Structure 1
Amino acid sequence: MSSLAPQRREPGELFGPRFTLFADMLAVGVATAVASLPLITAPTAFAAACAVLRRSIREDRPVTVGEYVAEFRAHGLRRFLLAGVTVFAAVTLIVLDLALAGAGLPGARPMAWALTAVAATGLVLALRAATDPEVTRGWRPALSRAATRSAADPVGCALIAAAVGLCVAFLWMLPLLALLLPGPLAFAITAVELRIKPPADEEWSPRCPL
């Protein structure tokens, strides 16, 4: 946030600013889930969620629907289609390879573990790239910067993997949470990125919002 000092509530205000951020996080989760329904739009929808939550944290102001839509549209048709097709193709390829690895072929178990590791690494890199402030200019350079940050911050990678694991566990226990979970996941990954000091040429907040 722009200030870590306690903020007083206005007269008649029922909830403090932290509850407002929590409500915004859930609202962004619903918006992201709806925007991801075509599946191919999921990467762009999640990147827009990270962008609006990052701005809300740093500038200490509520999120609006118009702001989310603007962030979504900022990617452009070509970029979001390319990102969606790439992610969908990668997921399909990994699922097919895992199915073949489980068919009892020689060396199937080592292959399955290797593919799982590749999938986990790719997921962490993609999620870190989604939080990049310059992702609207292209996913490829964002992925390159995400790889650099991941190499320098393995603890952050572990935190992101843990956040994904928790979301999967919550989804398994209560599938109805699928409409809300994108928001908390985007918030968690954004918080992980904001907790580290950025390079001089990037505009990142040096403090964690939590």
Structure 2
Amino acid sequence: MSQVPARREPGEVFGPGFTLFADMLLVGLLTSLASLPVVTAPAAFAAAAATLRRSADDGLPVRFAGYAAHLRARLTPGTLAAGLALPLLVVLVLVDAALVRAGLPGANVVAPALALLTLGAATVGLRATALERLSAREGLLRSAGDPRGSLLLAAAVLLAALIAWSMPLLIPLLPGPLALAATAVELRSTAGRRED
């Protein structure tokens, strides 16, 4: 991974840290737009992670054309099938949550288990989209093999949920920080495996 220059280039208004922030926001907006059909959400997040990884490697700012190229490459029948699973999972969680609120016996045990299961699924999904090739199985293996990275991603998901709840206007930007977190955890995990 190339080092970002610590000093500003001539004519540059903001430093390199702000460039990363702006790239993350742009990727967040592009991912939100690409996820509108819902079935394209896994491909959109995978494209976001690939775009941020390429930007980190090359040291160049994110461009719409680069994101679009990554998105086209990841729109495969497999990612669209994974996208079909998303609405089914959401419906399943909503039905289970409604049953828990109905006061059925065991609701005190089922509610935390449902919350943990949803958080775990989101974490594994983010791990899967940060891989070079989207794979739910590999995402699950990486999540289990790197508990520290998985906890970091779970914290990112919880923070994103809190921001979405408290400031709904920021929801279109949230895929950017989530993709950045997943990419950073994956790059950290990959660097750790190379050192071993």
Q: TM-score, normalised by structure 1?
A: 0.84
Per-residue deviation, 1:198: 5.5
Taking the TM superposition and a 5 Å limit, the aligned residue runs for 1:104-119 are: 104-119=103-118
Determine the C-alpha separation between the residues in 2 that align with 1:105 and 1:47. 39
- Out of 49-58 and 189-198, give the one that drifted further: 189-198
Q: What does residue 164 of structure 1 align with? A: 157
Would you say the 8 A contact 1:47–1:131 is kept in 2? yes
Asked if 1:184 corresponds to 2:192, the answer is: no
Instruction: Write the letter of the residue equivalent to 1:162.
Output: A
Structure 2: state its 5+ residue gaps. none
Would you say the 8 A contact 1:102–1:109 is kept in 2? no
Match of 1:152 among 135, 145, 156: 145
Deviations 1:97-153 (A, max 9, x none): 221122122222212222222222111111100100122xxxxxx222222222221
The percent of aligned pairs where both chains have the same amino acid is 49
Per-residue deviation, 1:76: 3.1
Per-residue deviation, 1:15: 1.9
Q: What does residue 3 of structure 2 align with? A: 3
Taking the TM superposition and a 5 Å limit, the aligned residue runs for 1:35-54 are: 35-54=34-53
Would you say the 8 A contact 2:43–2:75 is kept in 1? no
Determine the C-alpha separation between the residues in 2 that align with 1:153 and 1:171. 27
3-state SS of 1:74 partner = helix
Determine the C-alpha separation between the residues in 1 that align with 2:76 and 2:132. 18
Q: What does residue 203 of structure 1 align with? A: none
Taking the TM superposition and a 5 Å limit, the aligned residue runs for 1:1-210 are: 1-3=1-3, 6-135=5-134, 142-196=135-189, 197=191, 199=193
Per-residue deviation, 1:162: 0.9
Determine the C-alpha separation between the residues in 2 that align with 1:54 and 1:18. 15
Structure 1: state its 5+ residue gaps. 136-141, 201-205
Deviations 1:2-41 (A, max 9, x none): 126x433222222222222211111111111111122222
Instruction: Write the letter of the residue equivalent to 1:16.
Output: G
Would you say the 8 A contact 2:48–2:179 is kept in 1? yes
Number of residue pairs aligned between Structure 1 and Structure 2: 194
Q: TM-score, normalised by structure 2?
A: 0.89
More helix per residue: 2
